Structure 1
Amino acid sequence: MTHTHGFDLIVFDLDGTLVDSQHTIVAAMHDAFAAEGLPAPEAEAVRRVVGLSLDAAVARLLPRDAGEAYVARVAEGYKTAFTRRKAQADDSEVLFPGVREVLRALDAPEVCLAVATGKSRRGLVSSLDRHGLAGHFVSLQTADDAPGKPHPRMLELAMADVGAGPGETVVIGDTAFDMEMARTAGASAVGVGWGYHPAAELTSAGAARVLDSFDELPPALAALRPRTA
């Protein structure tokens, strides 16, 4: 299949873009705070920090005077709670509609697909394996490898992995952090409207377009960067 878009590298966020994991994320954060005798953060506040590295996300939810050691302890508590909840039979993490079909359509020899996420590598690999998506991606960038979003380093590493330039690269994500990462690196950005930040915020942060459904992605890419002969 020859694609009508001219992007060489398409970099996807995970949580809120490919995978609907907000129930597990919010519940695990509540568990971590409860273990420290802290009141649970509002679910909306937790959703607002999804996409950041874990320590940065926890730091935003804790009081401003929380020290680094305390942040690290709560973050470890979150990891433990998240792993425990993921192992439960009623874990509700699911793919968003159309993800599997669109990834299959975009996956081609002339196009490289990658993931850039605030998750750990272990968490990312576990999620991709669970949903049978690992084979689509040639580059996996996580908070283990680089500073968290919106810092551009994860995106720069993905581009270096496949030899793609910023003008040949597009980021697909649901948060302003994803859009800012792309903009800082000189890449294009497309937002998705089913994640954790509103469409207006994605556009303000640099999204060329915000999708209402995943099947809108291929034509949106073609409109952004048409393939030339």
Structure 2
Amino acid sequence: MPVYNTFVFDLDGTLLDTLPDLVELTNEALREQGFPSRTRDEIHSFVGAGAEALIRLAVPATATSEQADATMRRWKELYPIIGNKLTRAYPHMVETLQELKGRGVRLGVLSNKFDAGVHDVINLYLPDIFDVMHGESEEIPRKPDPTGLLRTIAELDSTPAQTVYVGDSGTDVAVSRNAGVFSLGAAWGYHGAAGLRKAGADAVIEDPRELLRFAPEYDYTG
């Protein structure tokens, strides 16, 4: 089995289970704009393409662009207040990341979440682990555009051939393909093993501890 010295991760549904907070946050933003709440399953189905896409799907079909924009602004205002109360790292994730770091693996995050939100939630739940973190911004377009992944790899002083991208969605598989990196599907996330295999993931794992199979056994940095 090939091993890789660089691991870049999706965030929501891969590193952290953020869905409970996304449900509460999105419904509060909707209610404040006079819109009906959405179910957990509905919001689950909206996750993966970034906050703007989430809100565009969550507001009623009759909502105007101005109303959707106002909901998005309020969602971002509420995020630091109520957006990180119920989030949790997936079982075995923290110790696996620490083991990877101990082996000298370069670790990064690339998410479709807005950039400030990525830094906030990682620094709260997974501090002092990742060398590079990026979310959607003016400079980093949403996945599956490979720009952000290629930039993250370069900032980690690595190459696509040395890199695994770990994610739980077809978008994550697509960005891996577009950037020329190995796609590792996280079946514990929001989209499941079958969807990842159908999307063409190079491999699918059921538990974060399986990440160690794709990493060197030692600290290659010496």
- TM value normalised by structure 2: 0.86
Paired residue for 1:19, among 11, 16, 20?
Answer: 16
Q: CA separation in 2, counterparts of 1:77 and 1:65? A: 19
The offset of 1:188, in angstroms, is 1.0
Q: Which amino acid aligns with 1:214?
A: P
> Alignment partner of 1:117: what SS?
strand
Q: Is the 8 A contact 1:149 1:177 kept in 2?
A: yes
Q: Is the 8 A contact 1:6 1:222 kept in 2?
A: yes
- In structure 2, the residue matched to 1:103 is 97
Match status 1:153 vs 2:153: no
Residues 89-100 of structure 1 aligned to structure 2 (within 5 Å): 91-100=85-94
Q: Give structure 1 stretches of 5+ with no counterpart.
A: none
The offset of 1:127, in angstroms, is 1.5
The offset of 1:198, in angstroms, is 2.2
The superposition leaves residues 76-129 of structure 1 with CA deviations (integer Å, 9 ceiling, x where unpaired) of: 121223322147xxx221111111111111115752110011222322222222
Q: Is the 8 A contact 1:113 1:136 kept in 2?
A: yes
Residues 24-173 of structure 1 aligned to structure 2 (within 5 Å): 24-63=21-60, 66-86=63-83, 91-108=85-102, 110-131=104-125, 133-144=126-137, 145-173=139-167
Q: Is the 8 A contact 2:35 2:60 kept in 1?
A: no
The offset of 1:164, in angstroms, is 2.4
CA shift in 2, pair 1:163/1:206, >3 Å: farther
The offset of 1:66, in angstroms, is 4.8
Q: CA separation in 2, counterparts of 1:54 and 1:60? A: 10
Paired residue for 1:213, among 187, 207, 211?
Answer: 207
Matched length: 216
Q: Which amino acid aligns with 1:128?
A: I
TM-align CA RMSD:
2.4
Q: Is the 8 A contact 2:50 2:113 kept in 1?
A: yes
- TM value normalised by structure 1: 0.84
CA shift in 2, pair 1:61/1:164, >3 Å: same
> Alignment partner of 2:161: what SS?
helix
> Alignment partner of 2:27: what SS?
helix
